[in-house]
Amino acid sequence: EPEVTQTPSHQVTQMGQEVILRCVPISNHLYFYWYRQILGQKVEFLVSFYNNEISEKSEIFDDQFSVERPDGSNFTLKIRSTKLEDSAMYFCASSSGLLGQPQHFGDGTRLSIL
């Protein structure tokens, strides 16, 4: 069964540094998403991406964040000038976009900011 893959599985970074989280969505999916989950809290939407542009973003997704699809397969989340509170699990997801069809999640990147 096709799956969403994410790298790295764990990223440890000093506060103030930039990180790039990478995702390879399911190949025939058209919609891509980033979510985050702070330890002990619920999964929160960050951004959705379709047709090479952001289709929606949450209030969490401020100027510190950016997304890119640099080629036909990768989908990246860049976090500039990381803060302690950016420590969380970051999940990439993709979907076909058809009504009622679910999103499929990658196994996440655990980001630890020191």
Partner 1 sequence: RKEVEQDPGPFNVPEGATVAFNCTYSNSASQSFFWYRQDCRKEPKLLMSVYSSGNEDGRFTAQLNRASQYISLLIRDSKLSDSATYLCVVKGNTPLVFGKGTRLSVIA
The C-alpha angle 90, 92, 94, rounded to 5 degrees, equals 160
Nearest approach in angstroms of CB 7 to partner 1 is 14
Which of these segments, 22-30, 65-73, 74-82, 92-100, binds partner 1 (CB under 8 A)? 92-100
Nearer to partner 1, 9 or 17 (CB): 9
Residue 107, interface with partner 1 (CB under 8 A)? yes
Nearer to partner 1, 39 or 84 (CB): 39
C-alpha distance from residue 62 to each of 40, 65, 67, 80, 89 (Å): 23, 6, 11, 10, 18
Residues whose CB is less than 8 angstroms from the CB of residue 28 and which lie 6 or more positions away in sequence, other chains included: 2, 96
Residue 105, interface with partner 1 (CB under 8 A)? yes
Among 15, 43, 54, 114, binds partner 1 (CB under 8 A): 43
